[in-house]
Structure 1
């Protein structure tokens, strides 16, 4: 029996939930950092924050969709669970990597801005 369709459905629901939940958290909690970088210009900070959220959604949903093309044939429940866990783990690894790269970028940008202002 082929379990690929079931795996696709479970993976899609799981990754969409993770991507949307993490995106909302980043959008809400990251606004403070962006406002401080733009010198309390709320309008520019909100626009930038919204653009970052859209880019985040597009990149991560695109990555999740690409994972379908690398899926092997699943023949058992064990393979189903293992495959979904592996694909979801890779997605989480990408999310963590992007988060730390963004935090490094914000830190370097704020440091450069502080040097220019002094």
Structure 2
């Protein structure tokens, strides 16, 4: 069997395994941030989390399959390991960038939610008070 095919199989197995592991880790730990951003709406947090995971899979597995092809001929074990290290290194960098992007977006959403909660008064207004007159006094009733 050609060593290039062996390299492809090993590359796909490791890359897809890493993608699944990172996606599960992001899903499990990112759900807490999403629930906080969505003010405790658990169903919506689960739905958004699931959509993010699906998008993560699509982007990363798409990249892995596009990056599969190799122009180099793999003749021996040394070349096999060198080709795999370059390909897996690039996949790991892409996964890392995707992870940092997800964390950045979730943190930005969380901060926006915190700022909105700070601006919302804890109690709704209960009534209306007339503004004071020019010298700081109000007209007496009936005057």
Alpha-carbon distance in structure 1 between the residues aligned to 2:31 and 2:13? 27
Pair 1:99 & 2:86 matched: no
1:2 Cα offset (Å): 4.1
Alpha-carbon distance in structure 2 between the residues aligned to 1:97 and 1:3? 30
Which blocks of at least 5 consecutive residues in structure 2 are unaligned?
A: 120-143
CA RMSD, Structure 1 to Structure 2 (Å): 1.5
Alpha-carbon distance in structure 2 between the residues aligned to 1:62 and 1:111? 31
- For the residue of structure 1 that corresponds to 2:39, the secondary structure is coil
Alpha-carbon distance in structure 1 between the residues aligned to 2:103 and 2:45? 16
Higher relative contact order (CA 8 A, sep 6+): 1
Tell me the equivalent position of 1:40: 40
Alpha-carbon distance in structure 2 between the residues aligned to 1:71 and 1:38? 47
Tell me the equivalent position of 1:67: 67
Which blocks of at least 5 consecutive residues in structure 1 are unaligned?
A: none
- For the residue of structure 1 that corresponds to 2:68, the secondary structure is helix
1:116 Cα offset (Å): 2.6
| TM-score normalized by the length of structure 2 | 0.77
> After superposition, where does 1:16-27 map in structure 2 within 5 Å?
16-27=16-27
Residue range with higher mean Cα deviation, 106-115 or 60-69: 106-115
Contact kept, 8 Å, 1:27 with 1:53, in 2: the verdict is yes
- Please tell me whether Structure 1 or Structure 2 has the larger radius of gyration of its CA atoms: 2
> After superposition, where does 1:76-115 map in structure 2 within 5 Å?
76-115=76-115
Alpha-carbon distance in structure 2 between the residues aligned to 1:82 and 1:60? 22
- For the residue of structure 2 that corresponds to 1:73, the secondary structure is coil
1:70 Cα offset (Å): 4.2
Contact kept, 8 Å, 1:4 with 1:73, in 2: the verdict is yes
Alpha-carbon distance in structure 1 between the residues aligned to 2:112 and 2:25? 26
